Amino acid sequence: MILAIFSFLTILTGMRTRTVNIFPLGFSVIFFLVVTAVSILLSKDVIRSIQLSVPLLPAVLIFFLIAGYFDGTKDVRFLYFVFSIVALGLASGLLWVVWTSGGMDPFVWVSDLGSTTLVVKNDVTFLAVVTPLLLSLIYLKPRSIFGVVAALAVILNLAVMGLFQSRIAVLTMVTSVICFFSLLRLRAGLACGLFTLLAVLIIDGFMGFPLIERFGRFWDGTGRIPLWFSAWEMFLDKPFWGQGPHTFVLFYNSYLQELRIPSWLFIETQIVPWPHSLYFEILAEQGIAGIIAFVFLLAGGLSKAWSFRQADSLDVRVLGCGVCAGLVSFCFAALVELTFLRHWVVLLFFVFLGIISYLSSSRRQQEEEG
């Protein structure tokens, strides 16, 4: 809160000395924040909603930092390089734990890593979502230090996908690769996606095909469908503003008990903090107002990112296709897994939007000067 107050004061004092430019997606982000603030005030547990919504503050500040203060595509490349180092570090740590543990339980591997970023095995989806950023560096300068580090990170990411048996992570990885290469070269997208899937399956084969077995045994989403039913009932009970941000865990079980769930659907008996779908989460917790604000923000980001395919500058085109593919894979993973309870989800979402906003402004400026 102190950080937010001083940031606001900085904006006010800055207005006197410089012209304030409203850059792309700025109004959409503010609208989303206002709707979130109102839903917090109307929450059934205001204190919990405030506490668990705090990560929005640094995430939004990073959005405005990237959108308003980046200077040239070199800054975007450096940011992508930071993600390459982070992905390389996390993937290396995970593979080291796998090598030294001697067990075969991905849940234990993630726990043994002791990372605050990766809490459950499905959090390796983070590595899949950032992969298009890494591919951008490889595509632009494959022999530079940026390209070499990014390539090594991608290779280790593929190994993690195969070993950790996360279905959503594997599918998100394939989606990321297909989307990135399809945006640049349509014919290459499917081939690269198939190659990615084949690499993961080869690793899975060395382990006895546990990943393929999971696709067959847990076809109903491992208890996700009843959670979605419960989230829908929560939405219907309070349709406009929802129950309050991050309150799903407090009420879903009572709604679940009132539903007539078919016996063939698996119902998770342990406490589940989120509905395993970002869209159902926002719908249940922030209602119609929240989902409209979120979709409006998401649609604006995707439409601007899609236009980067036609950019004259090679840097803008490739870096733009990277962030576009990253946002598309984020949307895909959000269907059945992601939650704003995870700090990396909140941060990555607004970082993507910040990059899109900056590249859009930069492209417009270049075209006006040209």
**Using one digit for the tens of pLDDT, what is the confidence trace for 139-181?**
998 889 999 999 999 999 988 888 887 888 888 988 898 889 8
Banded pLDDT at 338 (limits 50, 70, 90): very high
Handedness of CA 83, 86, 89, 91 (dihedral sign): negative
**The pLDDT value given to residue 284:** 94
Nearest partner of 37 among 307, 265, 299, 289, judged by Cα: 289
CB 226 within 8 A of CB 203: no
Instruction: Write 295-300 long-range contacts (CB < 8 A, 24+).
Output: 296/28, 296/31, 296/32, 297/25, 297/28, 297/29, 297/31, 297/32, 297/353, 298/327, 298/331, 300/24, 300/25, 300/28
Q: What is the pTM of this model?
A: 0.88
Choice between 305 and 218, residue whose per-residue pLDDT is larger: 305
The closest alpha carbon to 180, from 222, 121, 210, 138, belongs to 138
- Distance from C-alpha of 256 to C-alpha of 229, rounded to nearest angstrom: 8
Q: Are 349 and 171 in contact (CB under 8 A)?
A: no
| Structural tokens at position 341 | 């309870």
Which 8-state DSSP code applies to residue 25? T
State which of 23-27, 228-232, 259-263 shows the largest mean pLDDT: 228-232
pLDDT score, position 18: 46
Looking at residue 22, what is its pLDDT? 60
Read off the amino acid at residue 182: S
What is the biggest distance separating any 2 CA atoms in the chain, rounded to whole angstroms? 66
Cβ-proximal residues to 61 (8 Å cutoff; 6+ apart), any chain: 3, 4, 7
| Per-residue pLDDT at 254 exceeds 80 | yes
The Cα–Cα gap between 220 and 215 comes to 9
Question: Is 90 exceeded by the pLDDT of residue 80?
Answer: yes
- What are the helix (H) ranges across the chain? 2-14, 26-41, 46-53, 56-69, 73-101, 106-113, 125-140, 145-164, 167-184, 186-206, 210-217, 224-237, 248-258, 278-306, 314-336, 343-369
Range in 61-65, 98-102, 264-268 with the lowest mean pLDDT: 264-268
Residue 358 CA to residue 123 CA, distance in Å, equals: 28
For the cut 70, the answer to whether the pLDDT of residue 349 exceeds it is yes
Concatenated DSSP letters of 29-50: HHHHHHHHHHHHHT-SSHHHHH
Distance CA 323, CA 321 (A): 6
Contact indicator for 157, 150 with CB cutoff of 8 Å:
no
**Residue 102, CA distances (Å) to 202, 209, 215 in order:** 20, 18, 24
Which residue shows structure tokens 């996606």? 193
